[in-house]
A and B are shown apart, each in its own frame.
Chain A
Amino acid sequence: MKLLNEHDRESCRNVWIISEFLPDGELHAVSFELLGAARTLAEELGCEVWAAALGRDVSKAAPQLISRGADKVIAVEDGRLEYFNDEFECNILERLVCKYRPEILLGAATSRGRALIPRLAGKLYCGLTADCTGLSIDKETGVLLQTRPAFGGNIMATIQSGGFRPQMATVRPKVMKALEADPIRTGEIIYEAVTEKDGEKIKEIIKAVTEAQSNVNLSDANIIVSGGRAVKGPEGFRLLEELASRLGGAVGASRAAVDSGWIAYPHQVGQTGQTVQADLYIACGISGQIQHLIGMQSCKTIVAIDKDDSTPMMQMADIAIKGDLFEIIPKIIEELDKNGINKGGNKQ
């Protein structure tokens, strides 16, 4: 294994981010958020921010990455990079990390990042902290301090992997702050070719499909309208969909609702579903089993609508509306209409 071990720690420099792309080849907003976090760390360390961009064509993305805080962009272009291929991307990144020796490497805690980055850490023999909510540099030792929720958010653990390089972390979308685009910011684009070896022992991508229905993308949604057992059936979810559509949000669900077959699994929020960080989470008829609360407690504003105001969800909520959701939600929709609020669908 090509270890960047303790002995050459001093030779490692700069903060890398692994850029995240959307299916259409545009950059995912989390790439800019990673750059924002990376800039703060780089300023502390007095080093540069590099962005690795792997894709079919990153010519448009590279200058965007620079305008958002990258000093250098490592551009790797190949037709096979249009779709996510764990092995291929890992092979490329492993080679580039060994070549350029970053001190810190940040990735997105997306379904892609959460598969790719641990594979890379596994190959490189270095530490990786998942889903960090805070990143800073220890003033004395200069190592990266990575803070993440542990035990379902019961405690915040601060973790370091300073004995190994690069120090790696993933960050969920919407956690870090992106910098405004600065069109006059300059940087260098380094093109790196794919080698034959990079393409060895890689899987075959047969088909990739982006769902037309956009109200299922919970991880990027700013607003989520979520339903539980008291929604009573698929019909009830139509009502939630309508509210979500007015607000420009996605539709979530508790495990009980998903297991009852009222809504598909990709909508499930919680321990065995998605973890979400929306600005606004409206829980409709969800009593709040711990498995659910763990998945949505990081949302900024939590609203609960329930007949029973003693439930854990009503207690956790910032706004608790006591009443029958089948009566209240139509009135909320009316009220939104009166105020001219209608986003007419999810804008993710």
Chain B
Amino acid sequence: MKIAVCVKQVPAAGDAKINPETKRIIREGGKAVVNPFDLYAIEEAVRIKERTGGEVIALSMGPEKAKAALTEALSMGVDRAVLLSDRAFGGSDTWATSYALAKAIEKIGGVDLILCGKQAVDGDTAQVGAGIAAKLDIMQAANVWRIEEIGADTVTVKRINERGWDVVRLAYPALLTVVKDINIPRIPKLRDARAARRAEIPVWKPEDIGADPDKIGLKSSPTQVVKTAPPAARGAETLKIDGSSEEAANVFVSELIRRKLV
């Protein structure tokens, strides 16, 4: 089994502060971490490999410093890692990113299974996984929370949705995006972390993966940001309810009724 796992480096969520005027979160960019959902994808890929044998390759697109995310993947048991990094990739939207990752997976060659996190927590779009599957024209399953069976020709998985779950069977090559509950990502051992830091992480450029220059980067991305603005205020007055439990409950329920919330 040859498994590719896609990893994104994202800013860590910092401490929560609330702007008292707008009741909105003040968010400061934390340091760079592996997208939390991708940790589950890495762990699942490594677990599958530990059962079936084979190879896991971690793949990321980003600046040079995104190698740190790949080093973490290597520490967790991924066999090798590749970084797509070039000025020409810069500003890629989800379409252009999926295109580049799909080209890289083609270049790796012979990949049976592609694992991605459900979404990246910085963009929250959940588009890159399905985008890669579309470009490779392979089967996909999103929100996978259990891998039921790794067969010779197919993989059977359980996906969750808003109302329950289903079990689906996909022929290889297949792409799965996984949710948090699928496993508990391992904490790297020192020995593996040291080896990972010594590992060579090749950097691939557009020409290395045979990417069409007109399909990567900012100018080839279908979506363009027109403007940004602060979100509307949430309303600044907090009704503070204090006092005995009876009083508090009484005031609160009256308030719910007054505001027609119940």
Contacts and interface: CB of A to CB of B under 8 A. Distances in A.
A touching B, CB within 8 angstroms: yes
Interface of A: 22-23, 83-87, 90, 110-112, 114-116, 118-123, 125-131, 145, 149-161, 163-164, 201-211, 217-220, 223, 247, 265-266, 268, 271-273, 275, 279-280, 288-291, 293-294, 297, 301-303, 309, 312, 314-324, 327-328, 330-332, 334-336, 339, 341
- B interface bracket (residues with beta carbon within 8 Å of A): 35 or more
Contacts, number: 288
B112 to A, nearest CB: 15
B134 A321 contact: no
A129 B70 CA distance: 28
Contacts of B160: 111, 266
Given A217-B163, A279-B261, A321-B248, A119 B95 contact: no
Contacts of B171: 201, 203
Contacts of B249: 328, 331-332, 334-335
Interface string B133-147: 111011111110100
B36 to A, nearest CB: 5
Given A111-B161, A272-B180, A158 B229 contact: yes
Contacts of B192: none
B106 interface: no
Nearest to B241: A321
Contacts of B93: 127
29 contacts: A22-B163, A85-B168, A86-B139, A86-B142, A115-B177, A119-B133, A122-B127, A122-B130, A131-B125, A150-B123, A153-B25, A155-B231, A158-B226, A159-B223, A203-B141, A203-B171, A208-B164, A218-B162, A265-B179, A272-B180, A290-B27, A297-B25, A315-B18, A318-B23, A318-B234, A320-B238, A322-B242, A335-B253, A339-B253
| Those 6 A-B pairs whose CB atoms lie nearest each other, nearest first | A122-B134, A127-B222, A331-B249, A265-B181, A115-B142, A118-B127
Contacts of A122: 95, 98, 127, 130-135
